[in-house]
Chains A and B, each alone.
Chain A
């Protein structure tokens, strides 16, 4: 036990000392935040520049053959024909010219002439003109008609649970989905590190020397425990800023509606926390198993991709998992195939599509699978620890179970 502790301490401290650990740890959430921020900023600025285009200081020409804007005061220069309007834009007498032809009822088309060097690819003049056209129509409608046309009618859905109580499906799903996201980020960031941890002794040719001081079993147990603790450190690093932001900015107009919408369902939250823990053990086991079998990091990385595909597979069948009406064979296969099981079960649980007995069964299955895979890892590391070359790896499962 003392030696496991020594290995655990050494492995944990040296990982924490590595700048690459912290870079990888912080880079992904930071990258996601920066990308989301930039995307929001960019879409807002484009939208603003289009919608806020001020036509007041522009020289605008108009030919309105069907008289659509007859009831609206536009203040535009009336141009007798399309060719004249086009020429005026060309020679700079007009900044923009709108042409609505006589056949609008059939074509539903307005032609806009502007100077390409001013507008580039952006269509600055269409939205303000569309608003003008809308105004001319709205002048003829009642408030009710406008609400129907504008689709501003508020549809309030009341979801009832089995007891007839009102529930918020999305609100109940928020926290379990956050827990699922933590698992997803964890495997993306940590998968490689888990695999490499068991290749290192082989790649660096330390195995034989270290095995006179510590058994392969104690070495691998110490390493896996360290990796699990490092995983929890990562979970904390991801979670603490999210919780802090939620507390500090709880009254912020962007944060408050989300917080207000959260419906705390302890069973679902606890269920996903349990699934997260056993899933991480299983994932750690699968990655370290690959690491224990392969002689070099390069060989291991080829196989770890297969594990990753298995884990993210449920995301391609999301409809079969979040809606009870779409439950079919695929739902059950994804839910109980060990690699796809974590995300499938967490998704189903998040959206209330996982009966309690299935949740318990899923946690038990993942727990057993984790124990089996971790045991296989220990045995295979013992068998392959001095496998320095690309030879057929030996799992030795049959023998190891017999011995056990």
Chain B
């Protein structure tokens, strides 16, 4: 199987404080991979370093065998810290990102997407006028508009009601069916169990478990992922 992401002996320290000790894992092309861990376990740091936003203290983080460079590979990233240009309209924002991502018809794509997610009446609305959930839909649209090879979703369903959560899951399923590789960071173990092929459990910058969902469950004596999460992170301040 082709590896799209390779993290080799990744180490990270901020102002002398070690955040990631020695982390290695791989994500295969076309799979849905769960990056799991409690707050402060190093998930976001790993993703930011993978995308070149941080320089690693040690090790290598590669996408398609190379350090990430926008344009070399189509990556969609829905970060945990997310926002939009507040004073711009929904359509202007999406068209701008579409152009940056090299879409031939960013306006046409955006209109279709907004219709699908029930925001066609918000086309010319300033993004600051949208609710959190509506903004999140726009952000997701921006992430997936160029059919990314690698889609990284950090807490994608946070703030969504069950209806919109289902809509999001359908979109993820579709992208996966098209061959996209998806890395999901989530606290919802039911989502991991339903969607992910493989996962890694991070705690204090080291991997506590890594493999297929079946392998992880087996390692913890056949417990459910919810139970494993409580066992690994129990007593930590969430």
Residues of A within 8 A of B (CB): 3, 6-7, 10, 14, 18, 200, 204-215, 385-386, 388
Query: In the complex the two chains form, is B81's CB within 8 Å of A215's CB?
Result: no
Query: In the complex the two chains form, is B81's CB within 8 Å of A204's CB?
Result: no
Residue pairs across A and B with CB atoms within 8 Å: the count is: 68
Q: Tell me the chain B residues, 63-82 only, with Cβ under 8 Å from chain A.
A: 69-71, 75-79, 81-82
Closest to A215 in B: B70
Bound-state Cα–Cα, A386 to B85, Å? 15
Closest to B142 in A: A209
Known contacts A210-B97, A211-B51, A211-B53; A14 and B79 CB within 8 A of each other: no
With a cutoff of 8 Å between Cβ atoms, the chain B residues found around residue A388 in the complex are: 81
Closest to A9 in B: B99
With a cutoff of 8 Å between Cβ atoms, the chain B residues found around residue A212 in the complex are: 51, 70, 75-77, 143
Listed A/B pairs (10) with beta-carbon separation below 8 Å? A3-B70, A3-B100, A204-B84, A205-B81, A206-B85, A207-B53, A211-B51, A213-B100, A215-B69, A215-B70
Bound-state Cα–Cα, A10 to B78, Å? 22
Query: In the complex the two chains form, is A208's CB within 8 Å of B53's CB?
Result: yes
Which of A214, A385, A386 has a CB less than 8 Å from the CB of B70?
Answer: A214
B86 at the interface (CB under 8 A from A): yes
With a cutoff of 8 Å between Cβ atoms, the chain B residues found around residue A209 in the complex are: 77-79, 82, 97, 139, 142-143
Closest to A399 in B: B55
With a cutoff of 8 Å between Cβ atoms, the chain B residues found around residue A215 in the complex are: 69-70
Contact-residue size bin, chain B (C-beta under 8 Å from the other chain): 20 to 34
Query: In the complex the two chains form, is A210's CB within 8 Å of B100's CB?
Result: yes
With a cutoff of 8 Å between Cβ atoms, the chain A residues found around residue B69 in the complex are: 215
Residues of B within 8 A of A (CB): 48, 51-53, 69-71, 75-79, 81-88, 92, 96-97, 99-101, 139, 142-143
With a cutoff of 8 Å between Cβ atoms, the chain A residues found around residue B97 in the complex are: 209-210, 213
Closest to B143 in A: A209
With a cutoff of 8 Å between Cβ atoms, the chain A residues found around residue B86 in the complex are: 204
Which of B52, B82, B88, B100 has a CB less than 8 Å from the CB of A214?
Answer: B100
Bound-state Cα–Cα, A211 to B51, Å? 8
For the residues of A in contact with B, the DSSP-based class is loop
Which of B81, B87, B96 has a CB less than 8 Å from the CB of A6?
Answer: B96
Bound-state Cα–Cα, A213 to B144, Å? 11
Known contacts A209-B139, A212-B51; A204 and B70 CB within 8 A of each other: no
With a cutoff of 8 Å between Cβ atoms, the chain B residues found around residue A207 in the complex are: 53
Query: In the complex the two chains form, is A205's CB within 8 Å of B76's CB?
Result: no
With a cutoff of 8 Å between Cβ atoms, the chain A residues found around residue B82 in the complex are: 205-206, 208-209
Closest to A200 in B: B85
Known contacts A6-B100, A214-B100, A215-B70; A208 and B84 CB within 8 A of each other: no
Bound-state Cα–Cα, A18 to B78, Å? 28
Bound-state Cα–Cα, A6 to B100, Å? 7
Q: Nearest Cβ in chain A — how far from B43, in angstroms?
A: 13
With a cutoff of 8 Å between Cβ atoms, the chain A residues found around residue B139 in the complex are: 209
Q: Nearest Cβ in chain B — how far from A197, in angstroms?
A: 12
Bound-state Cα–Cα, A205 to B139, Å? 11
For the complex of A and B, list the 6 residue pairs with the smallest distance between their C-beta atoms, beginning with the closest. Answer: A205-B83, A208-B79, A213-B100, A204-B83, A212-B77, A6-B99
Bound-state Cα–Cα, A7 to B75, Å? 19
Query: In the complex the two chains form, is A14's CB within 8 Å of B53's CB?
Result: no
Q: Nearest Cβ in chain A — how far from B229, in angstroms?
A: 25
Closest to A392 in B: B15
Q: Nearest Cβ in chain B — how far from A11, in angstroms?
A: 10
Closest to B15 in A: A392
Q: Nearest Cβ in chain A — how far from B23, in angstroms?
A: 20
Query: In the complex the two chains form, is B92's CB within 8 Å of A14's CB?
Result: yes
Bound-state Cα–Cα, A208 to B142, Å? 12
Closest to A3 in B: B100
Q: Nearest Cβ in chain B — how far from A2, in angstroms?
A: 8
With a cutoff of 8 Å between Cβ atoms, the chain B residues found around residue A3 in the complex are: 70-71, 100
With a cutoff of 8 Å between Cβ atoms, the chain A residues found around residue B88 in the complex are: 14
Bound-state Cα–Cα, A18 to B92, Å? 14
